[in-house]
Each structure stands twice: as C-alpha cells, then as structure tokens.
Amino acid sequence: MTLKVYADRMSQPSRAIIIFCKVNGIDFEEVRIDLVKRQHRSPEFKEINPMGQVPAVVDGRYKLFESHAILSYLSCAFPGIPDHWYPADLFTRAKIQSILDWHHTNLRRGAATFVLNRALGPALGLPLNPQAANEAEIILRASLSKIESLWLKGNAKFLLGNFQPSIADLSLVCEIMQLEVVDEKDRDRILGPHPMILQWIENVKSATSPHFEEVHGILYKVKARLHSRLANAKPNDTHLSMKPNPKL
C-alpha cells in the first residue's frame, strides 16, 4: 500500500517530508491539506492527525505525525535509504536527534514566528505583529549564529561536519527557506551576515536537486502575491484579510 503524505507545501516540515520521499525514491501519494482553507482543522483530517497539523503520514494501518518523528521513521521503514540521512551509528544519531530537539525551541520558534508576524499571518487570518516579529528575529539571529559556530564550523558541507546531508540538514534548511516570503531587505539583513548558512543552504539544495527547488516553488509564488497585496494596503493596515485563495 502506498505511503500517504498529508501536507501543505507552504508548511516547512511538510516540504522536508516530500523532498525526503522524492530524493529517496519512496513511492508516495501527496494529499494536499490546504492550511488557508483550514482543512487541517476538518474532522476528516483529525481522523489522520488529531492534533490538526501537517505533515502527517499514513503507512498502511500506521499513522504518524510530527515531522522529525516521520523523517526518522521513513529512514528506517523503507529499504535502501542511504545511511547518511539517519545514521545507524549511535553517537552520530544522538547528535542528529539533539539538533532536531534544539530546532523546536530555537530556530523553528524564531523563524516561524518571524515569518508569520512579518508576512504570512494575514493569509492565515492572523494580524501582523511587528513587536512579535522583532522578538522572534532576535531568537532567529541567535539560532543562525549557533548553527554556524557549532555545527558548520570549519566550512563543513553539512551539519556536524558530515559530507552528506542528514534529516537534520533537510529539516533546518526547509525552515530557513521560509524566509523567502518576507521582504528581501529583511531576508538579506538576517541571512547576509551568515555566509556559511547561505553556502549550507546551497549544499542541501544541490544534494536534493531537482526536488528541493520544485517543492519550494510555491514559496516564490506566494511571496509575489503577498508583496503585491502589502504594497496596495494602507500604511498602517497590518491586518490584511485575505480571502482563502485556492492557488496559495
């Protein structure tokens, strides 16, 4: 039975799962759960994931949510997945788990909160909150510095000095890619001081080509749409009520 991946490509952990499946030749069906249409809150989807969040997978009778758990599950459940994604070596695997745990309360907290309050909120029916965006930017900047100084030191190609990417590389880079939807000045201000992060993103893109760019294509479309709407909004209108757009 084909693996089902319930996802919205606007969600960064959804993209990580889809890219992982495509790169590793996993036979899967992508089931679109439209966040703007609030399909993740529907009773039908809550039968799949009672937490009402994407991504989630169904593998035969087995259901699983939380993207990090899904990535490690897929790494072990499907034959032929190269070891570098989730190394069997106890010590390396625990270091990867440590990065993934850290991600939840640092990089993800900073990046997701920043993007939501700087650009994406209105598409989800939430107001933009400049103060929350500023606070999140501090966490985001500190997180990027930590990644660079601890896990990419010595111009490592991938996290922990590995020569090939792990599920942590994929998860964290998909998170940072969410910054594509904010204004370029904001993105440059935040990522510009981190050349090793920028090189690392390129390394992950390259290692997962052409799937990485294909799956991220939606971000560029949404960015163009958001910016044209913001440009047409009144100067102080931080609550853009955007109608759900089936193309978003």
Q: Which residues bind a copy of itself (CB under 8 A)?
A: 50-51, 62, 64-70, 72-73, 76-77, 90-91, 94-95, 97-98, 100-102, 104-105, 108, 146, 149-150
Quick one: 67 or 178, whose CB is closer to a copy of itself?
A: 67
Quick one: 40 or 108, whose CB is closer to a copy of itself?
A: 108
Quick one: 51 or 224, whose CB is closer to a copy of itself?
A: 51
The distance of closest approach from Cβ of residue 224 to a copy of itself in the complex, given in angstroms and rounded to an integer, is: 30
Quick one: 77 or 196, whose CB is closer to a copy of itself?
A: 77
26-33 contacts: CB < 8 A, separation 24 or more?
26/74, 26/78, 27/2, 27/3, 28/2, 28/3, 28/4, 29/2, 29/3, 29/4, 29/5, 30/5, 31/4, 31/5, 31/6, 31/7, 32/7, 32/8, 33/6, 33/7, 33/8
- Could you give the CA distance from residue 189 to residue 121 in angstroms, rounded to a whole number? 21
Q: Which residue has tokens 């990485």? A: 212
The distance of closest approach from Cβ of residue 246 to a copy of itself in the complex, given in angstroms and rounded to an integer, is: 29
Quick one: 66 or 186, whose CB is closer to a copy of itself?
A: 66
Q: How far is CA 72 from CA 16, 76, 96, 188, 238, in A?
A: 12, 6, 10, 32, 39
- 62 three-state secondary structure: strand
The distance of closest approach from Cβ of residue 242 to a copy of itself in the complex, given in angstroms and rounded to an integer, is: 25
Pairing assessment for the beta strands 28-32 and 56-59 based on DSSP bridges? unpaired
How deeply is 93 buried, as exposed, middle or buried, from its count of CB atoms within 10 A (0-12, 13-18, 19+)? middle
Quick one: 69 or 233, whose CB is closer to a copy of itself?
A: 69
The distance of closest approach from Cβ of residue 200 to a copy of itself in the complex, given in angstroms and rounded to an integer, is: 18
Q: In what order do the strands lie in the sheet with 62-65?
A: 28-32, 3-7, 56-59, 62-65
The distance of closest approach from Cβ of residue 172 to a copy of itself in the complex, given in angstroms and rounded to an integer, is: 14
Quick one: 74 or 226, whose CB is closer to a copy of itself?
A: 74
The distance of closest approach from Cβ of residue 46 to a copy of itself in the complex, given in angstroms and rounded to an integer, is: 11
The distance of closest approach from Cβ of residue 96 to a copy of itself in the complex, given in angstroms and rounded to an integer, is: 8
- Could you give the CA distance from residue 48 to residue 54 in angstroms, rounded to a whole number? 10
